[in-house]
Amino acid sequence: MVSSEQRRRQLARKKYEDQMKRRAEAAAKRKKRNALVGGLAAVVALAGIGAAATGCSFGSDKKNDKKPAAAPSESGKKWAAEPAMSIDTAASYTATLDTSAGKVTFSLDAAKAPHTVNSFVFLAGQQFWDDTKCHRLTTEGIYVLQCGDPTGTGSGGPGYQFTDENLTGATYPAGTVAMANAGPNTNGSQFFLVYKDTQLPPSYTPFGKITGGLDALQKIAEAGVQGGGTDGPPATPVNVKSITAAKG
């Protein structure tokens, strides 16, 4: 027979073991949550950017090649579908980002990212980015300046979305130009410029390499973020005067 004292001890031990189990489970959940937050922290600056952009997402390049360019919607500079392919994928293309903080030039990889470059050239030709601003600078975890949102809020786009490209083995060293997105195949008009070697998962279509003006980007980064944080509008305003693209 179990005495009342033994029973009391058994109950106390069980209560203690239950408490330890709950604490261990809570600690495991916190660890998992913190790991997830830490893993996503670098991506947050880029993910979710095109979420407000409307339009279709196409799953195959072949289908996209046959899609005609649509006229701008009544809401302004927005289009109902990705523009038809009009670039020469065997040719070289260059772009110039002319801002209040300096010029940045970069080459465009039409062979490896044809739809991305085609869209970029199309939007540049439409003066889509003229008189906009680069709305986001990140100075910790990832090192990028993000541009391309005509609204300057981080949620704007051209009205259409297109598929990811050139992701196999993608890396993001200093000088990379890549697309921001809100998840797979949600590319629109927002892109980022990498001013310092950055570790990111291969989820953001790299489509260009900076050929001039990296020092201007680094100077912008040195000035930091408004309010003294590490992620937000750059302290040095980066107003986009124009973005132009040309063949050759």
Task: List the CATH number of the domain containing 88.
Answer: 2.40.100.10
- Portion of the chain with pLDDT greater than 70, in percent: 70
Residue 69 has pLDDT above 50, yes or no: no
Q: Please state, in angstroms and rounded to a whole number, the distance separating the CA atoms of residues 162 and 58.
A: 6
Q: Based on the domain organization, do 1 and 88 belong to the same domain?
A: no
Name the domain count of the chain: 2
- Structural domain span for residue 126: 49-247
Q: Which residues pair with 210 in a beta bridge?
A: 106
Over residues 212-236, the pLDDT tens digits come to: 999 999 999 999 999 999 999 999 9
pTM higher than 0.75: no
Q: Please state, in angstroms and rounded to a whole number, the distance separating the CA atoms of residues 119 and 106.
A: 16
Over residues 39-56, the pLDDT tens digits come to: 333 344 444 333 333 222
Q: Report yes or no: 231 and 45 within 8 Å, Cβ to Cβ.
A: yes
Q: Based on the domain organization, do 62 and 137 belong to the same domain?
A: yes
User: Residue 11 has what pLDDT?
Assistant: 73
Q: Based on the domain organization, do 209 and 233 belong to the same domain?
A: yes
* β pairing state of 176-179 and 191-194: antiparallel
Neighbours of 71 (CB within 10 A): 9
Q: What is the CA radius of gyration of the chain?
A: 24
Residue 66 has pLDDT above 50, yes or no: no
Q: Please state, in angstroms and rounded to a whole number, the distance separating the CA atoms of residues 79 and 68.
A: 11
Q: Based on the domain organization, do 32 and 149 belong to the same domain?
A: no
Q: To the nearest whole number, what is the mean pLDDT of the chain? A: 82
Among the residue ranges 19-23, 28-32, 125-129, 154-158, the one predicted with the least confidence is 28-32
What is the token pair recorded at 18? 């239950």
Q: Please state, in angstroms and rounded to a whole number, the distance separating the CA atoms of residues 126 and 111.
A: 22
Q: Based on the domain organization, do 32 and 99 belong to the same domain?
A: no
Per-residue pLDDT band at 155 (split at 50, 70, 90): very high
Among the residue ranges 60-69, 115-124, 170-179, the one predicted with the least confidence is 60-69
Q: Based on the domain organization, do 16 and 97 belong to the same domain?
A: no
Q: Based on the domain organization, do 60 and 166 belong to the same domain?
A: yes
Beta strands in the chain (DSSP E): 93-99, 102-108, 132-133, 136-138, 144-147, 176-179, 191-194, 206-212, 231-232, 239-247
